[in-house]
């Protein structure tokens, strides 16, 4: 059975975040990307793996998509993808690395052609939540993006 569109979107988001490097024209070199559900406490991550990004697919809404008033098998789905990132600074000065990575992630997600090819419109950045300095030498922040796509529900979302 083929992978669902939702799964493919998450994998393309992961690929886009893994490609965030200075060599690719970004401000940051992302060292670690995971799509696992577990986000470790910052101090338990090897210092050589920062900045680290954790991708999670979140809530989803669905609605039937019909043309000319007829009932169809196509559905329009809108779901949220979040990227929780952690930057580290030995001096505790995380504002510039955090700001650069926020900018890089948004650019990577919104402009990535492979992600766009799966969606009906570009990914839409919706929120940014920060830790407000609670972790000392670490900064933990979460960016969310809305993704809209169309799928055929009788085929299981493929």
Encode pLDDT of 98-127 as tens digits.
Answer: 999 999 999 999 999 999 999 999 999 999
Q: Quick one: pLDDT band at residue 67, thresholds 50, 70, 90?
A: low
pLDDT of residue 74: 83
Mean per-residue pLDDT over the chain, rounded: 87
Alpha carbon 35 to its chain's center: 9
pTM summary value: 0.88
For the cut 60, the answer to whether the pLDDT of residue 158 exceeds it is: no
pLDDT of residue 44: 82
pLDDT of residue 78: 93
For the cut 90, the answer to whether the pLDDT of residue 12 exceeds it is: yes
Question: Percentage helix, strand, coil, to 5, in the chain?
Answer: 30, 35, 35
**How far, in Å, CA of 74 to CA of 125, rounded?**
25
The architecture (CATH level 2) of 5-66+73-155 comes to: 2-Layer Sandwich (3.30)
**How far, in Å, CA of 5 to CA of 117, rounded?**
11
The full set of domain ranges for the chain reads 5-66+73-155
C-alpha triplet 53, 79, 15: angle, nearest 5°: 35
25: left (phi over 0), alpha (psi -120 to 50) or beta: left
For 83-92, what is the mean pLDDT?
90
| Omega before 154 within 30 of 0, i.e. cis | no
Which range has the worst mean pLDDT, 3-17, 43-57, 144-158?
144-158
**How far, in Å, CA of 150 to CA of 145, rounded?**
17
pLDDT of residue 42: 81
For 89-93, what is the mean pLDDT?
86
pLDDT of residue 94: 87
């Amino acid at each position: 059975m083929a992978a669902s569109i939702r799964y493919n979107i998450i994998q393309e988001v992961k690929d886009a975040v893994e490609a965030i490097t200075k060599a690719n024209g970004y401000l940051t070199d992302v060292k670690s990307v995971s799509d696992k559900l577990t986000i470790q406490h910052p101090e338990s991550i090897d210092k050589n793996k920062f900045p680290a990004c954790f991708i999670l697919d979140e809530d989803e809404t669905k609605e039937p998509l019909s043309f000319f008033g007829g009932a169809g098998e196509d559905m329009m789905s809108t779901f949220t993808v979040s990227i929780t990132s952690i930057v580290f600074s030995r001096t505790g000065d995380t504002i510039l690395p955090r700001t650069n990575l926020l900018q890089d992630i948004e650019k990577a997600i919104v402009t990535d052609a492979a992600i766009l090819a799966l969606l009906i419109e570009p990914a839409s950045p919706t929120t940014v939540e920060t830790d407000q300095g609670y972790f000392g030498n670490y900064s933990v922040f979460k960016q969310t993006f809305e993704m809209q796509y169309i799928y055929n529900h009788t085929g299981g979302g493929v």
